[in-house]
Amino acid sequence: MDFDLEELVNVEQTFYEDGYQSGFAHGRIHGSIEGRALGREKGFEMWEELGFYEGFAIMWKAIVSSQPAPDERTLNHIRHLLELIAQFPRENPSAGGADAQGELDIPKLFRQIRSRYKLLCATLGVRPTLRAADGSPGAVELGHTGAGSPGSQEDGEKRHGARKAVWAVQPQNTELNF
């Protein structure tokens, strides 16, 4: 019986290295697949939110511009929000290498867009919300800390001083006469 004692001493290390190489190759393949799926999902969520902000800004721009004396401050916030949204990359910046002006900080740009949206909502006297696309009736509240019932006119007046609500809700008479 002829065997090498040196190999017997290193058998555990040999099995460890073989298992590591096999697991590394397997993880590289499946990690890439899972990373693409996660990136696609998160990218969709980000663009859904950006689309909401852009539609909101375009709608309010049309409303404010159609008034006899449009508020310049509101129009400035709308213009700035639309400019920030236009800066957001339309394709994956990491796929083509580094950006021409340096690295693009997507989370920072996204925070700036959210902040500008909240500022625009405060200027308009509207609660900042984002409706989910899955059709559920719930809304994601973005930074609301006011007291009182949600959406009540008194609550809006407390947060924005004695400012008039943009869309006044008149209580309807619910009596039925037969």
* DSSP string for residues in the chain: ----HHHHHTHHHHHHHHHHHHHHHHHHHHHHHHHHHHHHHHHHHHHHHHHHHHHHHHHHHHHHHTSSS--HHHHHHHHHHHHHHHHS-SS-TTTT-S-TTS---HHHHHHHHHHHHHHHHHHHT---EEE-TT--S-EEESS----SSTT-HHHHHHHTTTPPPSSPPPPPP-----
Residue 102 pLDDT grade (very low, low, confident, very high; cuts 50, 70, 90): low
Could you give the count of Cα atoms lying within 13 Å of 128 in the half-sphere of its Cβ? Answer: 19
Q: CB neighbours of 46 closer than 8 A, spacing ≥ 6? A: 110
- Dump pLDDT digits (tens) for 109-132: 999 999 999 999 999 998 888 665
- The neighbour count for residue 18, using CB atoms within 10 Å, is 10
pLDDT band at residue 151 under the 50/70/90 scheme: very low
For the ranges 33-47, 59-73, 154-168, the lowest mean pLDDT is seen at 154-168
pLDDT score of 176: 56
Residue 58, pLDDT score: 95
